[in-house]
Structure 1
């Protein structure tokens, strides 16, 4: 098997600029990494640089566990999938093109437009009529770059329960909660499949006034997105709100059966009582401390 030669980028760097994020060479072939919705170039060239204008080359996506072998692109002595040749897999119709002007130099590279997570996998570039036959292996990694959103699930005088949501994540997306010092916080993660992506939720409980950040990392492309939220843990605000509303609640209950004087006395007494909301529970509801969470506002960022 011959190695893949990437001289093609020297001939038209402006055309390919920005198409791919990186290429790695290994014993199994070439690994191409690209962001989702960007164009990806899969390289394949004959080391002899002999013309393949009158030749044949075939691109296929190797069968995976949940799908069979797929026909990506076929060039056969001038006929190909973009000028009437039948047989191309539905997933790649209208999205794959070759470099016609480079066929004279043995270049059979292709571009896959608007890449999707489902395009990730192993590909082969095959020259079936050459003797000896030549086949190259290329791995395509399409990396998602979703943006997280953060919200308040619950709050008491002493703690706040935060949730980070990530739609459109890939299997390799990493999600973390971090405090203002950059420390990773313990959290509970849930991943739910949604088509070619994943829906991720990450919950954490915080007990200090600070700014907290949910960070999504895509290691393949060294890319991060994040969302921030400032959390003021204020027991005084919470307790005052609870006491005030509790006082009016008791006053209203006895209004129909007690005299005005007794009601006023009761209000004075109950307004001095300190009521701790939920008493440490994390159940959501319409409790008197619900107003505490109105102070907390998420701020999304990148």
Structure 2
């Protein structure tokens, strides 16, 4: 009878034995979990919130454990410390004060992921999720990125090729990006060197220029990219054929105006030369006339002296009538000679005046013709400028739209 009871007890264990076995199994298996983080870098957008993943596998209640998030390059190295059911603010690094938190309600499920608010450039680094007992840990790499769409604008005209110069600028990038230009078919364009400026906030501003000419497709793209974080932003612009024609016409008109101005200056110099020459001739004629007058006066004086001698002789001989007759003839001869000189001088003066009038007439006609040409060119230039202004206004609208959308661009990449 006793043997039968013993066999029955061995074949059917009591609930007490099952409970003891369960407790022993739980005691020996406790702490055999693993911490699972992320094998790939976590990319965070500057100024946004990010979650650094870490959880227990298999899932287990972690609310009563000591949890530490640290970064080896910091002093102190603690980013977040959880002990005895509460956070220890005094141990964490000052730069993370008020910016880290755990998901309290999910600790019971084994989720000990860390939330970092308002990510900064200095938050970039490798974080360690650590449970001191039983010494389990996992690492998560955080990469901070700042990306913004570029802004395209017209920078001017290349006088050598009459091409349009485009400028691309993008502010607030991290890490440093590169800039490439593409045409409508996706081919790379040859552009000048990229200018890079790093600001006091460690963010990069990049700008680049390219000269484009009229093509089959006048679509152009400025692409700003950061390959390490796999981030790309690009902006497109379309330039109409009319705009290229306006720029070419404007360049031709400018050359024409320069040539016309040079011709006008040459004509003015010629006019000044002719006027100067004419005045020199007048001065020479006056000097010649004065010399002739002096000679005439000397001759008159000589004749008067001779006449006086004759008069004295005639008076001595009593021939007063002969003296009067000779004197009348001398005056008549001198008067005739003086009138002839005046006529010659008057004739030379009239000829000089006529020459100057002809030159002035020709210059006036040429100047009036150039004025009409300049007015016509100015009218065409004003029309071209108005067309250019319309095109620029049309291009300004998408530019303003892009600037308004800068603040709406948000990128969240969570890699688990």
CA distance in 2, matches of 1:253, 1:191: 47
Aligned partners of 2:146 and 2:175 also within 8 Å: no
Alignment of 1:254-293 (within 5 A): 260-267=364-371
* 1:219, distance to aligned residue in structure 2 (A): 4.3
CA RMSD of aligned residues (A): 3.8
Alignment of 1:1-302 (within 5 A): 4-5=35-36, 25=39, 30-63=40-73, 70-81=77-88, 85-128=89-132, 130-131=133-134, 133-155=135-157, 156=159, 158-171=162-175, 173-187=177-191, 188-194=193-199, 195-209=201-215, 210-219=218-227, 223-231=231-239, 232-234=243-245, 236-243=248-255, 245-246=257-258, 260-267=364-371, 294=389, 295-296=391-392, 297=395, 299-300=398-399, 301=402
Structure number with greater CO (CA < 8 Å, separation at least 6) is 1
Cα deviation per residue 1:156-177 (whole Å; 9 max; x = unaligned)? 3522222211101122534221
Residues 252/140 of structure 1: CA separation in 2 closer, same or farther (3 Å cut): farther
Aligned partners of 2:144 and 2:174 also within 8 Å: no
Which SS does the other structure have where 1:101 is aligned? helix
* 1:36, distance to aligned residue in structure 2 (A): 3.0
Residues 256/5 of structure 1: CA separation in 2 closer, same or farther (3 Å cut): same
CA distance in 1, matches of 2:80, 2:90: 10
CA distance in 1, matches of 2:226, 2:142: 15
Cα deviation per residue 1:109-153 (whole Å; 9 max; x = unaligned)? 11112323332221111222x13x122110112322211112233
Name stretches of at least 5 consecutive residues in structure 2 with no aligned partner.
1-31, 272-362, 378-383, 406-416
Aligned partners of 2:102 and 2:113 also within 8 Å: yes
CA distance in 1, matches of 2:267, 2:223: 52
Which SS does the other structure have where 2:249 is aligned? helix
CA distance in 2, matches of 1:196, 1:202: 20
Number of residue pairs aligned between Structure 1 and Structure 2: 258
CA distance in 2, matches of 1:52, 1:252: 94
CA distance in 1, matches of 2:369, 2:124: 72
Aligned partners of 1:216 and 1:224 also within 8 Å: yes
Aligned partners of 2:76 and 2:92 also within 8 Å: no
- The equivalent residue for 1:276 is none
- Mean CA deviation greater in 247-256 or 37-46: 247-256
CA distance in 2, matches of 1:94, 1:166: 32
Residues 71/221 of structure 1: CA separation in 2 closer, same or farther (3 Å cut): same
**Could you state the TM-score of these two structures normalised by the residue count of structure 1?**
0.69
Residues 122/243 of structure 1: CA separation in 2 closer, same or farther (3 Å cut): same
Aligned partners of 2:260 and 2:370 also within 8 Å: no
Residues 159/101 of structure 1: CA separation in 2 closer, same or farther (3 Å cut): same
CA distance in 1, matches of 2:187, 2:72: 41
Residues 254/106 of structure 1: CA separation in 2 closer, same or farther (3 Å cut): same
CA distance in 2, matches of 1:221, 1:192: 20
- Structure with more helix by fraction: 2
Aligned partners of 2:162 and 2:248 also within 8 Å: no
**Could you state the TM-score of these two structures normalised by the residue count of structure 2?**
0.52
Residues 170/256 of structure 1: CA separation in 2 closer, same or farther (3 Å cut): same
Residues 136/174 of structure 1: CA separation in 2 closer, same or farther (3 Å cut): same
- Structure with more strand by fraction: 1
